[in-house]
């Protein structure tokens, strides 16, 4: 659209401070402030509480590589994500991570891969709990029997933990009552 042409939004448009083009009235902010208020891409990362955050890892790298300090001296200056003193091993890993990162990049963490996946799904846990509610008064209602009856692929300890999480403090086998 040419500058002299009729614009249906002309009542809402004004020239920008540099005079180069129209600016919506609701966005009448200086160009620097507009850049500062622009939405930024945020990177999220999960760090273990005893792990070292990227800013502290950069500090550890600087103290080790540039300032040539010993690990014990670095431990006194760097803190973990929980605010404690990091172990020497954590510091070594943080410095190695900072050395291996690409220029201007964020070091890679694989914390999302940590942990063990649950053997039983929520639906299977609900079935186990329902089974125990129905048959818990019977002597045959043991973890081994539950596994055989429901054709689960897990250990007796897994079923016992599942029941403990749901309020049944269960032993894996039959108890001998005298």
Q: What pLDDT is recorded for position 153? A: 93
Buried-exposed string 61-73: b where 16+ CB fall within 10 A, e elsewhere: bebbeeeebebee
What is the number of alpha carbons within 13 Å of residue 59 lying toward its C-beta? 14
| Token code pair at residue 105 | 């990049």
Identify the residue whose tokens are 């201007």: 104
Q: Would you say 25 and 12 are in contact if contact means Cβ atoms under 8 Å apart?
A: yes
Total-model pTM: 0.40
Return per-residue pLDDT of the chain as tens, 178 residues. 444 444 444 444 454 555 555 545 544 555 556 555 656 666 667 788 888 988 899 899 999 999 999 999 999 999 998 899 999 999 999 998 888 876 655 656 666 667 778 889 999 999 999 999 999 888 888 899 999 999 999 999 999 999 999 998 866 666 666 5
Contacts of residue 93, Cβ cutoff 8 Å, sequence gap at least 6: 52
Q: What pLDDT is recorded for position 78? A: 93
Identify the residue whose tokens are 């208020």: 37
Best CA proximity match to 93, nearest among 105, 78, 82, 104: 78
SS3 23: strand
The whole-angstrom separation of Cα 20 and Cα 40 is 26
What is the Cα gyration radius of the chain?
A: 31
Q: What pLDDT is recorded for position 12? A: 44
DSSP code per residue over 68-80: ---HHHHHHH---
Q: Would you say 164 and 170 are in contact if contact means Cβ atoms under 8 Å apart?
A: yes
| Token code pair at residue 20 | 């180069």
What is the number of alpha carbons within 13 Å of residue 74 lying toward its C-beta? 27
| Token code pair at residue 9 | 């939004």
- E-state strands within the chain: 13-15, 22-24
């Amino acid at each position: 659209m040419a500058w002299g042409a009729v614009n249906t939004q002309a009542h809402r448009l004004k020239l920008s401070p540099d005079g180069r083009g129209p600016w919506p009235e609701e966005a009448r902010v200086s160009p620097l402030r507009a850049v500062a208020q622009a939405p930024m891409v945020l990177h999220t990362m999960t760090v273990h509480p005893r792990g070292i955050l990227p800013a502290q890892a950069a500090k550890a790298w600087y103290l080790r590589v540039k300032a040539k300090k010993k690990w014990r001296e670095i431990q006194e200056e760097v803190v973990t994500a929980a605010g404690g003193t990091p172990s020497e091993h954590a510091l070594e890993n943080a410095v190695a991570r900072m050395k291996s990162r690409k220029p201007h990049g964020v070091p890679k963490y694989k914390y999302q891969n940590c942990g063990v996946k649950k053997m039983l799904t929520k639906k299977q846990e609900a079935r186990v709990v329902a089974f125990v509610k129905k048959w818990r008064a019977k002597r045959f209602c043991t973890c081994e029997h539950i596994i055989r009856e429901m054709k689960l692929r897990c250990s007796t300890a897994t079923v016992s933990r599942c029941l403990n999480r749901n309020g049944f403090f269960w032993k894996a086998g039959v108890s001998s009552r005298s």
